[in-house]
Structure 1
Amino acid sequence: MHQPVTNNPFVIMIINMVIVFTVLIAVWALIEITHRIDPTKKKAEPPAAQPLGTAAPTAPAASAPRTGGLNAETVAVIAAAVSACGCSASQIQAIRPAEQPAWTGYGRVSGMRS
């Protein structure tokens, strides 16, 4: 019969961890190689050089957002939350409460029970 090399659980744990991390590093290396040779990746275009005498084009001034009854502090908090998610505040089209019929129904039932 075959005898185990060791019965020490710590040695077995170390061997298993080395195997697992070796495989993870190999998979990571394959992913990195794939990202480097990816033919579908778009190449970054260098920005066009502007003559020294001209100013950079500016974005048109956005009209003041309509708040729909919300105070400016609430609008600022929503804009900050959207910016934290990676979008710019200029991408906000409208701020309006979401339709929540389940909450309305719960409120009606709760009012009738009390």
Structure 2
Amino acid sequence: METQNPIVIMLINMTIVFAVLFVLSLYIRLIHKIDPTAKAAAAPKAAPKAAPAPKTAAPAPVVEKGIADETVAAIAAALATMGVGFSRVKAIRVADRPAWGGVARHEGLTTLKMR
């Protein structure tokens, strides 16, 4: 028996896909139940030793005049996100930009054609 109805074909295909996904989920659950590494992870671990407190506080970075406190806070947050301690920062200053970069930016903006 051959069918040309696209809805019936779609329903058959979706049934097959979801049946395979269900079987895969059962397989994953079975692996989680018989996982030999779970026993090793469940074993109690020795408490890690606390790191000794630093003897001296790191000096605050030198911030160039004209840089807002919000900018310093954003830089500190970005460094913390990357896992870098703010104590490693020595200075925050505006980067020197060569003149050709400004010229290229200006030329790119002024010659921009609207499509």
TM-score range, shorter chain: 0.3 to 0.5
The higher-RCO structure (CA 8 Å, 6+ apart) is 2
More helix by share: 2
Q: Taking structure 1 as the reference length, what is the TM-score of the superposition?
A: 0.47
